[in-house]
Structure 1
Amino acid sequence: MLDVKAANIAPPVMQRSYGAARVAFDGSRLRTLQQRGSAKAILPRVTAEPEIVFLNTSGGLTAGDTLEYACDLRDGARVVATTQAAERAYRADDGRAEVQVRHRVGARCWLDWLPQETILFDRAKLARETVIELAPDAGCLMLEAVVLGRIAMGERVSDLQFFDMRRIERAGKPIFVEPFLLNSDILAQGTRSAILGEARAMATLVLCAQDAQDAAEAARAVLDESGVEGAVSGFDGKCVIRLLARENWPLRRQILRLMECLRRGQAAPRVWQI
């Protein structure tokens, strides 16, 4: 067998994916739809309010891949945005994958940002930043869910680099900032109850609106899915919910009930429905 290093042969340059999709609405009217590379945006006609489904046609993320999603809402637009399927971060031997999500929610607008879960495989390296910029009278519901490996397949994740920055701003000032780090050192301590315990799936939902704290009691009332631990905080125009589970399916069922509660009875995006 040829020894590449001994023969002083440069390793092959691996192909990487790049994708960017941007959608803009003025009220209920589509103003802009831009798509490049592996990122696409589909606008199914499923409800009275516009629904955006982002997808990554590359099939997953690995070293050197970059992905960007963006929404720009104006003139009282009310939009639901989600992803077509779970995003997958695969083994990355050299460098990391990067994802940038930036949504601008203008005056009198509302955005439900409800992506499906991110599945992290062993030796994945992923850095993601999600920023939602709200006008003074705008609101949003944000979800981020993370699963460690394909639990039903018995996969275990022990080697990982995952950094997830989540930030919501109102009129240029941060109102919710959450830097989330999960790496090999943390996973090595994962049996500690203060970290993950036996959980392999987790989620955070954040509702931001003038009276969002009033939704806390109703959210607590639907935290009843077996196998899911959850807690709710309501304060200062925010309702924050955190969930932990050993498996993904109970977590999804719990998220769906919380969606219905926080969205006041509106059905979940079609791609989410089980």
Structure 2
Amino acid sequence: MLDADFQPIHQRSRGRGYASFGLRGDVARLVDLHQAGSAKVMFPRTSGSVPEVVFLNTSGGLTGGDDIAFRLELGAGCRALATTQTAERAYASTGTTARMAVSATVGVAGRLDWLPQETLLYQHSHLTRRTEIDLDADAACVLAEVVVLGRAAMGEVVTDARLTDHRMIRRQGRPVWAETLHLTPDVLVSASPALLNGATCFAVACLVAQGAEDAVAPLRAALDPAMGAVSGWDGKCVVRLAARDSWPLKQHLARLLQIMTGRPLPRVWASGGT
């Protein structure tokens, strides 16, 4: 019996963070708040009328078996900017998958800018994430994601990591933008121009709004064509970037996001991240 294989039971992180806003006069006010486990929701003071919502995973990262979810609800006419306190770190897994879910609903004529800081994938990490935003009539949103492979400052080269990243934006229940990213070890080591082509970080930002295509021209004027591309169609505008260094990519994305949102970035972007 003493020679039998022993598999320790690891403590896993669980977290749920939820906030909802409704209009009171012309100002969006907090209506409901729920925090459980490792998830926290913060509301830094801002000078404008648009609230800023900051989600935080207090466990410091995600590893196999961890499960965290953030949810935001905006009533009719509400506008909000939401982000994360720092970069989300996906650490090496013992075999199971870390899971993260982000969901939001935006009422009639509302607007959500979901601008989380980057996700860092470390060697042997395994993360599944689902991000879903449901828009009502005339509502709008920007959804952005940045993924960074490893710790460049430490010379880490990620050759074995897995990421399944589902993204969905619906309007009145009908999908208007959906994509699923599957990142596997085969993709990480491939030199194909159709895949990462040596890039160690990449980003996507999608604007869904009436007349979103109008943002294409100013975005292309500001875009470094060696780093990415922009396209627009049917009330959508999508930017994709890839680079070998996360710092210039983040700086470039920050400029583009200010065009897409028409407002400054969250203040935590200046202090968090990698």
Q: Shorter-chain TM-score: what band?
A: over 0.9
Give the superposition deviation at 1:255: 1.1
Letter of the structure 2 residue corresponding to residue 121 of structure 1: Y
The equivalent residue for 1:85 is 86
Distance 1:86 1:105 in 2: 25
The equivalent residue for 2:264 is 267
Distance 2:47 2:230 in 1: 29
The equivalent residue for 1:192 is 192
Partner SS, residue 145 of structure 1: strand
Give the superposition deviation at 1:152: 2.1
Give the superposition deviation at 1:6: 6.1
Distance 2:175 2:5 in 1: 50
The equivalent residue for 2:182 is 181
- 1:117-151 CA-partner distances (Å, limit 9, x unpaired): 00000100000000000002100011011000011
- 1:92-116 CA-partner distances (Å, limit 9, x unpaired): 0121100011101111110000000
Partner SS, residue 60 of structure 1: coil
Give the superposition deviation at 1:71: 0.4
Percent identity among equivalent residues? 46
Distance 1:39 1:29 in 2: 21
Distance 2:219 2:183 in 1: 27
The equivalent residue for 1:18 is 14
Letter of the structure 1 residue corresponding to residue 18 of structure 2: R
Distance 1:141 1:162 in 2: 22
Distance 1:57 1:185 in 2: 32
Aligned mate of 2:232, from 224, 227, 234: 234
- 1:57-82 CA-partner distances (Å, limit 9, x unpaired): 00100010001001000021100000
The equivalent residue for 1:31 is 31
Give the superposition deviation at 1:9: 5.4
**Residue ranges of structure 2 left out of the alignment (5+ in a row):** none
Partner SS, residue 95 of structure 2: coil
- TM-score, structure 2 normalization: 0.94
The equivalent residue for 2:149 is 148
- TM-score, structure 1 normalization: 0.94
Answering whether residue 256 of structure 2 is matched by residue 258 of structure 1, we say yes
Distance 2:8 2:232 in 1: 53
Give the superposition deviation at 1:47: 3.3
Q: Tell me how large the CA RMSD over aligned residues is.
A: 1.3
Partner SS, residue 227 of structure 2: strand
